């Protein structure tokens, strides 16, 4: 309630602040008419930010001030974020539609089919796990609509891959069902799924019937919660001085998922690992616990070849070039792909 009260007062507070700061150096910059589009859409304040960064010695304070003005008065952040309702933030990548998106799309789908055939020649099954966009799941919390909806990005991609014979797990439906049932499956201020969202995904993979079950039993040990601010808050750099006006921090559920009786395992345990996971930070970031949930639900250990900051295609290329020839025991590769990467520019290694 306190944050809502602050939000309601911010228009007045920051309007006064902007007026005061503007008077200080009004002679140094020419201002447009009050009805100018620059004033109405906030671009004037972005210009003023650059002006005052030159005039004020304390640039961190100025950066924080103007970031707060843009966020509080215009519901905007820097390029890279789309501000929704109730402090929900969305990545601009989920809105961008490159001019060559059709070429990128077709090329990426062709690459997936090619990898499927390449793995098959080695006796390895490929299972694609297609992650929907956060704005697709939580579209009711943002006014701006994504062009990705208009091109039917998720459904068209899934149907095309299935038509080409690629085994695929659709995560969109179970994540939306979980959200509708009250579970938080994506973080409010972060690009990624929550620990619960990762668990929903792992369970959906198991329930698909496409992954063979092992015999290992895993136990979940809750460890409490920790506070964090998601990666999308980097585009609203209010700084410590204006932290009360920034999106509120949220919490991550911390837990350990361990194999039952792990402490009693023999040093000479010869159990093999038949599943490899390739993917992005949705898998590689240990905070989300996706690998752990996957092991719990499939009842077997999973070899993790996911990477942070490379997208989904570079890790797969690296796996095929460096691991495939020696992957004697691997029977299945689970490939986690956020759907937005299917129309994005290629990620460099």
Report the catalytic residues. 190, 192, 281
- The C-alpha atoms of residue 87 and residue 190 are separated, in whole angstroms, by 11
Give rounded-to-5 percent helix, strand, coil for the chain.
50, 15, 35
Residue 283 makes CB contacts below 8 A (sequence gap 6+) with: 277, 290, 291, 304, 306, 336
Rounded-to-integer distance, Cα 344 and Cα 52, Å: 35
Residue 159 · residue 339 · CB < 8 Å: no
Task: Note whether 333 and 306 are within 8 A (CB).
Answer: no
Query: To which residue do tokens 């905007």 refer?
Result: 76
Cβ contact 225:251 at 8 Å: yes
Residues found in the chain: 349
């Amino acid at each position: 309630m306190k944050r809502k009260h602050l939000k309601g007062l911010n228009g007045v507070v920051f309007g006064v602040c902007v007026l005061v700061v503007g008077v200080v150096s009004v002679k140094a910059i020419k201002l447009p008419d009050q009805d100018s589009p620059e004033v109405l859409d906030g671009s004037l304040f972005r210009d003023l930010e650059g002006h005052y960064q030159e005039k004020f010695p304390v640039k961190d304070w100025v950066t924080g001030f103007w970031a707060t003005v843009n966020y509080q008065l215009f519901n905007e952040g820097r390029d890279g974020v789309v501000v929704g309702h109730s402090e929900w933030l969305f990545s601009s990548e989920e809105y961008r539609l490159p001019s060559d998106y059709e070429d990128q799309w077709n090329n990426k789908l062709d690459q997936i089919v090619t990898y499927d055939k390449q793995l098959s020649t080695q006796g390895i099954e490929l299972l694609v796990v297609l992650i929907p966009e956060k704005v697709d799941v939580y579209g009711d919390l943002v006014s701006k609509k994504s062009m990705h909806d208009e091109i039917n990005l998720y459904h068209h991609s899934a149907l095309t891959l299935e038509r080409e014979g690629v085994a695929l797990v659709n995560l969109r439906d179970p994540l939306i069902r979980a959200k509708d049932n009250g579970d938080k499956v994506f973080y409010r201020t972060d690009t990624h799924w929550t620990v619960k969202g990762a668990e929903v995904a792992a369970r959906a993979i198991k329930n698909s019937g496409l992954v063979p079950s092992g015999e290992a039993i895993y136990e979940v040990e809750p460890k409490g919660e920790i506070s964090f601010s998601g990666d999308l808050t980097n585009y609203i750099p209010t700084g410590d001085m204006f932290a009360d006006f920034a999106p509120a921090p949220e919490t991550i559920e911390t837990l350990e998922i361990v194999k039952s009786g792990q402490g009693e395992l023999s040093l000479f345990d010869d159990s093999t690992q038949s599943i490899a996971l390739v993917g992005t930070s949705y898998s590689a970031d240990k905070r989300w616990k996706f690998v752990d949930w996957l092991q719990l639900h499939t009842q077997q250990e999973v070899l993790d070849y996911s990477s942070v900051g490379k997208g989904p295609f570079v890790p797969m290329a690296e796996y095929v070039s460096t691991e495939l020839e020696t992957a004697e025991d691997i029977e299945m590769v689970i490939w986690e792909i956020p759907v937005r990467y299917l129309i994005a520019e290629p990620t460099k290694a």
